[in-house]
Amino acid sequence: MTLDIANIRKDFPILDQKVYNKPLIYFDSAASSQKPLCVLKKEEQLHVEYYGNIHRGAHYLADQATNDYEAVRDLVKDFIHAKSREQIIFTKGTTESINLVAFSYGEAFVAKGDEIIVTEMEHHANIVPWQMMAERKGAKIVKLPFADDGRLEIELLDQLITEKTKLIAVAHVSNTLGTINPVKEIISKAHAKGVKVLVDGAQAMSHLKVDVQELDADFYVFSAHKIYGPNGVGIMYGKKELLSQMPPYQGGGEMISQVTFEKTTYNELPYKFEAGTPHITGVIAFGEAIRYLQNLNIEEVATYEHQLLDYATGKLLEIPGMQIYGTQKEKSGAITFNIEGIHPFDLGTMLDKMGIAVRTGRLCADPVMDHYQQPAMIRISFAVYNTLEEIDQFIDALKKLVAMLG
């Protein structure tokens, strides 16, 4: 391995601090990753040197900011290997990207009685927008279940896809179970029956190399803040033939071509879907995050994170009463668990006081909690800046708490 983790950690000064007088261990990167200095500095540089509103070409600062903003669109296009820059729409996050698709695709393509397949392991952001659309259009949501080990039961798709099915919404990587879903296979099954697929890549982008053309995804969405970029920036990638038939999601400046009180015409792609002033500094700084990840080499990052995952899983399983949810071999980023007889909130609160940041609760995935009949769970998740030593310290802390609370 060529990754120099000690050096990488220097790029993330937030990690080098004490909380409650204990060295911080940050195991909550699936919720949001920390940002390297290059990202933070870019945002500052923009505000100090050339901030102006984009696409309004009125002056030097606006031109500079516009050029950088649009350059990031090209960078994202290459990063996910999209065919053209018009297919990259900036949003404020995965949630907004899915809402955009659910609304616009729904308006263009979904009619009364149609069906949308949503998997049981989705984050609420990939369930609720479809339900809202289904309610508006008189469509129906059909659940694709997962097995207890966290495997999506994709063989059921043969039965679940009917002539009424319009789209399948599926996470590339589950935020609770960590499962890497076989999205390529799902897409090919769906396409064989003329069904479109939206892939929620929120938990995949920092761990896997994604090629939207190879996957043949119809829509692929993700958030910058989970891959070392700023919060408030998201991506919606879509196939051009779909995007060009879909109506705008929001109205306002930039998304129009001409406005009169009699009739308004809309701008071309991608601007048709980018109403109003976007998160200019966020998008431009996101470019630095992509470069940062590319410089590290995403395959090496993935291998390293997998090593952390395997090591932590082995150590967790030494603890009596340990129940890990999601035990697939094809797994990435996160481990979710409970310990028999101990409430996850008690454990989470006490870990926090020991300087260890974990996620506790229903993980924005009520159907997953219901599947296992658990009120809440604990999730630890890793990024490139985490270490085996941190895992050892976490396991020591956990063992102490189990002895105390168990």
Smallest separation, CB 221 to ligand PMP (Å): 8
Smallest separation, CB 332 to ligand PMP (Å): 12
What is the pattern of x (binds ligand PMP, CB under 6 A) and - over residues 132-171?
A: ---------------------------------------x
Q: Please choose, from the candidates 73, 374, 109, the residue with its C-alpha nearest in 3D space to the C-alpha of residue 242.
A: 109
Part of the chain binding ligand PMP (CB under 6 A), chosen from 43-51, 81-89, 104-112, 118-126 = 118-126
* CA–CA dist 178, 195 (Å, integer): 26
By CB under 6 A, is residue 29 in contact with ligand PMP?
Answer: no
Residue of 33, 95, 165, 360 that binds ligand PMP (CB under 6 A): 95
Query: Position of tokens 């966290």?
Result: 150
Q: What angle do CA 400, 403, 404 make, to 5 degrees?
A: 85
By CB under 6 A, is residue 34 in contact with ligand PMP?
Answer: no
Q: Which two tokens stand for residue 211?
A: 């090629």
By CB under 6 A, is residue 356 in contact with ligand PMP?
Answer: no
* CA–CA dist 248, 51 (Å, integer): 27
Task: Give, as one character, the DSSP assignment of residue 112.
Answer: T
By CB under 6 A, is residue 123 in contact with ligand PMP?
Answer: yes
Smallest separation, CB 119 to ligand PMP (Å): 11
What is the pattern of x (binds ligand PMP, CB under 6 A) and - over residues 244-283?
A: ----------------------------------------
**Residue positions annotated with a catalytic role:** 364
Q: Which two tokens stand for residue 59?
A: 């002056």
Please answer whether residues 314 and 129 qualify as being in contact, where contact means their C-beta atoms are separated by less than 8 angstroms.
no
Part of the chain binding ligand PMP (CB under 6 A), chosen from 119-127, 151-159, 294-302, 347-355 = 119-127
By CB under 6 A, is residue 397 in contact with ligand PMP?
Answer: no
Between the alpha carbon of residue 170 and those of residues 5, 147, 173, the distances in Å are: 32, 15, 9
Residues 177-236 that bind ligand PMP (CB under 6 A): 200, 202-203, 223, 225
User: Residue 365: is it exposed, middle or buried by C-beta count within 10 angstroms (0-12/13-18/19+)?
Assistant: buried
**The pairing of beta strand 140-144 with beta strand 115-119:** parallel
Query: Position of tokens 């809202």?
Result: 132
Smallest separation, CB 224 to ligand PMP (Å): 8
What is the pattern of x (binds ligand PMP, CB under 6 A) and - over residues 50-89?
A: ----------------------------------------
Q: Which amino acid is at 182?
A: P
- Specify the residue, 279 or 315, whose C-beta has the smaller distance to ligand PMP: 279
* CA–CA dist 386, 392 (Å, integer): 11
E-only strand ranges, 108-183: 115-119, 140-144, 165-171
Smallest separation, CB 118 to ligand PMP (Å): 12
Please answer whether residues 316 and 395 qualify as being in contact, where contact means their C-beta atoms are separated by less than 8 angstroms.
yes
E-only strand ranges, 130-192: 140-144, 165-171
Part of the chain binding ligand PMP (CB under 6 A), chosen from 90-98, 177-185, 307-315, 371-379 = 90-98
Part of the chain binding ligand PMP (CB under 6 A), chosen from 122-130, 143-151, 292-300, 304-312 = 122-130
Contact residues for ligand PMP (CB under 6 A)? 93-95, 123, 125-126, 171, 175, 200, 202-203, 223, 225, 364
